[in-house]
Amino acid sequence: MSLIESKREPVPAPLQVGSQEPPALGLWEYMRPIRARWFLGCAVAVTATVIGISIPQVLAWIVDHLVGSETPTPGRVWAGGALITVLGLAQAVLFFVRRMLVVDTAATVEMTMRMRLYDKLSRMPVSFHDRWPSGQLLTRSTSDMSMIRRWISFGSIQSVTSALAILVGLFYLFRGSWLLGLIYTCSLPPTLLVLWFFIKRMKKLTRRSQQQSGDLATSVEESVQGIRVLKALGQGENALDRFTDESAELMHTEIDRSKTLGSTFVKTSLLTGATMAISLLVGINEVANGQMTVGALTAFFATTAMLTPHVERSGMMISMYLDSKVAMDRHREIMSEPSGERVLLVPGVTTPVPGSEAGQPGSDVLPSSQPYQQAAEIRFEHADFSYEGSPTPVFTDLSLTVAPGEILALVGPTGCGKSTLLQLIPRLYSLTGGDLLVDGHSVADLPLPDLRSQIAVAFEEPILFSSSVRDNVLVGVDRASKTEQELDQIVEDALRISASDFVSDLPDGVHTLIGEEGMSLSGGQRQRLSLARAIATRPRILLLDDPLSALDVKTEEAVVGMLSEHLNQTTVVITAHRPSTVALADRVALMQDGAIAATGRHSELMSNPDYARLMSLDADIVEEGDAPWHA
Ligand code: ADP
């Protein structure tokens, strides 16, 4: 094993699927796997501190008995120096050992917390992400975590050792001279009062600063994502102004923090300086009166020189504690949000529920996904749904069955609830009443990983990752279980079915790198890659939310034709506008006023005046939009 490998902390074991929401853990619980090492680190640091604070006592003995004896010799002076050096070295080695013991383990806790947070975020319903700005989530998984790591590896141990150093130091001071000890102790209450006001102010500023950092991260993220919209609408300047304002607010908060820290430091330094001056006057007097030896006075000043940084540093420690406490509160705020889903277990942190083996699927799971295996049946039974906080339901008492292998087109005026209905199937949102069954199993009872592994979705607004076309298409495929040839075949099939023939014209074919959100591709091309990605997973249920809107009619027809030809083992629900798409579906469901108004083949429904009007309106739009540059 190489030196680097041997020093590295083992990476936490992979997450496993459990069956119950774990409680929002506190820092102490997160530290469970490293508590022993933390305690050891603490013990080593305490030993080093006790050695350090005792050095002045040894110094006093050297001054009084070796150097200041009646027969001082160079040998005695060297012996005294060597003793102090050995103690100093021992202290340095112990501090190094403490660092080695704690730093890596704190990084492990940070990683575990980050993994749990990521797991939680990926399981939260979409309504949670509707409420939480992404920047807030970003800062919670980055800067907040680093803060907590610094507290575990440095702040917490430093606080313990500082408290101990102050206690032991005061004991030595009083032992040397009760009067000098009293003078030094009297300087502590005003110092603590200064620190008390410091804590109060810093608490407010810390929370404000962390909140503002989150808002700033949200602004950056939204501006980068919406860069094209901002540029197209000439809003670049406005976005910059907004960003500048937010940056300025954060800057002022940070300046306030630094000022508070600085002024506290000045006040505590003044108090310390005054105490030292008074102590010197009194101390010299005591030595002159023979009430104190020169060695004891030397030890007093050496001890206070060691104590003072601990007292002053306590302000920094308190600030660090507050930072990490706020970070921990913000972490728990997210972790205590109910997701109502099965969870990933972090080894050493979460206890599996008795009787539910981690990683074992529940008894009510769907059959696992196999290539083009039997399609699934979807059934809405008297379903109700309202968005959180919205007074009007999107639909009430909706019933609809999609037969296995069927292609069902959902048609209806904008805003009638087509996208919402699709999002309920993989439980991106949950029904507020009634039931939704997949193959007779209520989706509310199905473990999410099992449910979602059967389903693929393509949205109108495709998100592509900054990677190659091939990697984008294979995002949902279990690559480990397949050979490269099999993967190539999957990519080829998916691209063919989604009519993504444009890929062969890209500079490196399927290996062409595409930017974040596929910015170098046209809207229609991005939509088709997103469709190919959904097809590549060979789902039992394929949900297409207007994913072909940017395609010209002929390409759209070709894609829908391919879907019906090749995905006969997949149940497809597609929201559609154009008669050309609808005509190719096996059945059409017309959504109106929060319910399914009619179902049937396109030709049958044309006798329904509402449906006919909707189709003719959309046909007009298609005529206008039917141009090659839409592809
Ligand atoms: P469609 O797909 O038919 O155009 P949607 O399903 O997108 O309709 O929307 C149905 C209704 O739900 C609309 O009134 C819309 O404003 C509302 N809606 C959609 N998404 C949300 C959301 N995240 N939060 C609250 N209301 C929403």
Tell me what pLDDT residue 344 has: 43
Sign of the alpha-carbon torsion through 534, 539, 543, 549: positive
Closest ligand 1 atom to residue 423 Cα is 6
Pocket test for ligand 1, best of 128, 398, 414, 420 (most atoms within 8 A of CB): 420
In this predicted structure, the answer to whether residue 352 has a pLDDT above a threshold of 60 is: no
Closest ligand 1 atom to residue 389 Cα is 25
- The DSSP symbol for 63 reads I
Average pLDDT value for the chain: 81
As a whole number, mean pLDDT of residues 122-147 equals 81
Q: What is the pLDDT of residues 419-471, one digit of tens each?
A: 999 999 988 888 999 999 999 889 888 888 788 888 988 887 788 888 889 99
Strand pairing category for 407-411 and 587-592: parallel
From ligand 1's centre to the CA of 524, what distance in Å? 23
Take atom 23 of ligand 1 and give the residue whose Cα is closest.
130
Closest ligand 1 atom to residue 420 Cα is 6
Q: What is the pLDDT of residues 497-514, one digit of tens each?
A: 888 888 988 888 888 888
From ligand 1's centre to the CA of 420, what distance in Å? 6
As a whole number, mean pLDDT of residues 540-559 equals 82
Q: What is the pLDDT of residues 261-272, one digit of tens each?
A: 899 889 988 888
In this predicted structure, the answer to whether residue 396 has a pLDDT above a threshold of 50 is: yes
Take atom 24 of ligand 1 and give the residue whose Cα is closest.
387
- State the Cα–Cα distance between residues 284 and 118, nearest whole angstrom: 63
**Residue scoring higher pLDDT (349 or 242):** 242
Per residue, what are the HEC states of 390-407?
CCCCCEEEEEEEECCCCE
* Spatial contact of 538 and 487, defined as CB atoms under 8 Å apart: no
Beta strands in 8-140 (DSSP E): 16-17
From ligand 1's centre to the CA of 429, what distance in Å? 12
- State the Cα–Cα distance between residues 303 and 95, nearest whole angstrom: 19
In this predicted structure, the answer to whether residue 4 has a pLDDT above a threshold of 70 is: no
CA 395 to chain centre: 34
Pocket test for ligand 1, best of 127, 129, 132, 387 (most atoms within 8 A of CB): 387
Q: Which residues line ligand 1 (CB under 6 A)?
A: 130, 387, 390, 394, 412, 414-420
From ligand 1's centre to the CA of 386, what distance in Å? 9
Closest ligand 1 atom to residue 575 Cα is 2
Tell me what pLDDT residue 368 has: 42
As a whole number, mean pLDDT of residues 158-163 equals 92
| pTM (two decimals) | 0.62
11 CB neighbour count, 10 Å cutoff: 8
Strand partners, 395: 385
Take atom 5 of ligand 1 and give the residue whose Cα is closest.
417
Of the given ranges (105-109, 124-128, 198-202), which has the lowest mean pLDDT?
Answer: 124-128
- State the Cα–Cα distance between residues 104 and 8, nearest whole angstrom: 8
Name the band, by pLDDT with cuts 50, 70 and 90, for residue 620.
very low
Q: What is the pLDDT of residues 215-233, one digit of tens each?
A: 888 788 777 767 666 666 7
Tell me what pLDDT residue 2 has: 38
Q: What is the pLDDT of residues 566-594, one digit of tens each?
A: 777 889 999 887 787 787 788 999 998 88
In this predicted structure, the answer to whether residue 482 has a pLDDT above a threshold of 60 is: yes
- State the Cα–Cα distance between residues 300 and 278, nearest whole angstrom: 13
Tell me what pLDDT residue 234 has: 67
Closest ligand 1 atom to residue 545 Cα is 2
Task: Report phi then psi at 508, rounded to 5.
Answer: -115, 30
* Spatial contact of 526 and 518, defined as CB atoms under 8 Å apart: yes
Tell me what pLDDT residue 22 has: 61
Tell me what pLDDT residue 12 has: 44
Task: Report phi then psi at 124, rounded to 5.
Answer: -70, 145
* Spatial contact of 396 and 595, defined as CB atoms under 8 Å apart: yes
402: left (phi over 0), alpha (psi -120 to 50) or beta: beta
- State the Cα–Cα distance between residues 148 and 111, nearest whole angstrom: 11
Tell me what pLDDT residue 506 has: 87
Tell me what pLDDT residue 48 has: 93
| Residue/partner pairs of 616-625 with CB below 8 Å, 24 or more apart | 618/577, 618/578, 618/579, 619/578, 619/579, 621/577, 622/553, 622/577, 622/578, 622/579, 622/580
